[in-house]
Structure 1
Amino acid sequence: MADAGGIAADRLKSFIERIERLEEEKAAIAGDIREVYSEAKSTGFETKIMRQLVRLRKMEAHDREEQEQLLDLYKRAVGMVG
């Protein structure tokens, strides 16, 4: 490997190229996700709510319950719950 200033240039280049490929894949996947949301919206679903559901489903059940309890508590505190 060629060293430039104490850096293994070939290895660094390899890492950079791998990251670039992954960034391209990430952009393609993000486009696919946008298409799915667009399709759902065109059939009448609310994409904001769908995004919230996706976010909630990623959470652990305990964390989700804790968040929901805090949200309910805060809503009561500001008079949003009967």
Structure 2
Amino acid sequence: MSEGNIAADQLRLLIERIERLEEEKRGIADDIKDVYLEAKATGYDVKTIRAVVRLRKLEKHVRQEAEALLETYKNALGLE
């Protein structure tokens, strides 16, 4: 095998792996959508659930800083 064939084979394999992972990602996205629909059907507010999921991804100190800043902005705008 020449180096060109080896490189082409390696490239093809990488692309095929990416394509498989993209397909899996679409499947997972569909599953997540289904869970949100189930939550909505059960009576939960999906927008709030999405906000909670985003908050849970943050480290505690980052979340606390963001919440403090939000409170500061709300107070400045008289939203309390």
TM-score (norm 2): 0.93
Aligned AA (1:75):
K
Match of 1:52 in 2: 51
Q: Which runs of 5+ in 1 are unaligned?
A: none
Indicate the structure with greater strand content. Answer: 1
Secondary structure of 1:51's counterpart equals helix
Tell me the alpha carbon deviations over residues 24-73 of structure 1, each in whole angstroms, 9 at most, x when there is no partner.
00000000000000011001000000000001001000000000000000
The alignment partner of 2:79 has SS state of coil
Corresponding position of 1:32: 31
Give how far 1:8 is off. 1.1
Calculate percent identity across the aligned residue pairs. Answer: 58
1:77 equivalent in alignment to 2:49? no
* Alignment correspondent of 1:66: 65
How large is the Cα RMSD of the aligned pairs? 1.5
Bigger helix share: 2
